Amino acid sequence: MSISIQNMGFSYGKHEVLHNVNAEIPDGCLVNVLGPNGAGKSTLFRCILGLQNGYSGTISVNGKDMRKLSVKERAREISYIPQSHSPVYDYEVMDVVLMATGNDLGMLRTPGRSHMLRAYEALERIGISDLAHRTYTQISGGEQQLVLVARALAQNSKTIIMDEPTSALDYGNTVRVLSCVKQLAREGLSIVQSTHQPDQAFLYADKTMVIYEGSVAAYGSPKDVITKELVSKIYGIDVEVNSLYDDRVRVCVPMSEVVHS
Amino acid sequence: MENNERARQLSHEDSRKSGGFDFASVSTKKAALFIICLAVAMVVVSAVSLLVGRFPIDPFVGLQILFSQIFPIEPTWTTQVESIYLNVRLPRIILALLVGCALASAGAAYQGTFQNPLVSPDILGASQGAAFGAALAILLGFSSFALSATAFTFSLATVAMVLLISTRAKGNRILVVVLAGVMMSSLLSAGVSFIKLIADPTNQLPEITYWLMGALNGATMKEVYLAGPIIVVGCAVLFALRWKINILTMGDEEATTMGINVNRTRFVIILCATLVTAASVAVSGMIGWVGLVVPHLCRMVVGADYRKLMPASMLGGATFLLIVDDIARLLSTSEIPIGILTAFVGAPFFLYLITRKKRA
Structural domain boundaries in chain A: 3-226, 227-261
pLDDT (0 to 100) of residue B152: 93
Q: What is the ipTM of this complex?
A: 0.88
Cβ distance A108 to B299 less than 8 Å, yes or no, reads no
Contact status, residue B90 vs residue B51, Cβ threshold 8 Å: no
pLDDT score at B345? 80
d(CA A110, nearest CA chain B) in Å:
6
Å between A197 CA and nearest CA of chain B: 25
Beta-carbon separation of B21 and A87 below 8 A: no
Look at domain A3-226 and name its CATH class: alpha beta
Contact B261 A111 (CB under 8 A): no
Tell me which residue in B21, B240, B256 faces A71 most closely, judged by beta carbons. Answer: B256
CB A105 to CB B243 under 8 A? Answer: yes
B257: nearest CB among A79, A88, A107 = A79
* pTM beyond 0.90: no
* Yes or no, beta carbons of B26 and A134 under 8 Å apart: no
Q: Which residue of A has its CA nearest to B113?
A: A88
Residues of A in contact with B268 (CB under 8 A): 107
Q: pLDDT at position B236, please?
A: 96
B27 with A103: Cβ contact below 8 A:
no
Per-residue tens of pLDDT for chain B, all 360 residues: 445 554 454 444 444 444 456 666 777 888 899 999 999 999 999 988 888 877 777 878 877 887 787 787 777 778 888 888 888 888 999 999 999 999 999 999 999 998 888 888 888 999 999 999 999 999 998 888 888 899 999 999 999 999 999 888 887 778 888 889 999 999 999 999 999 999 888 888 988 888 888 888 778 888 899 899 999 999 999 999 999 999 999 988 899 999 999 989 999 999 999 999 999 999 988 888 889 889 988 998 898 899 999 999 999 999 999 999 998 888 877 778 888 888 888 788 778 877 875 543
Q: Which CATH number fits domain B97-348: 3.40.350.10, 2.170.140.10, 1.20.140.10, 1.10.3470.10?
A: 1.10.3470.10
Residue ranges per structural domain of chain B: 97-348
Residue B13: list chain A partners with CB under 8 A.
none
Strands lying side by side in the sheet with A215-220: A78-81, A159-162, A190-194, A30-34, A207-212, A215-220
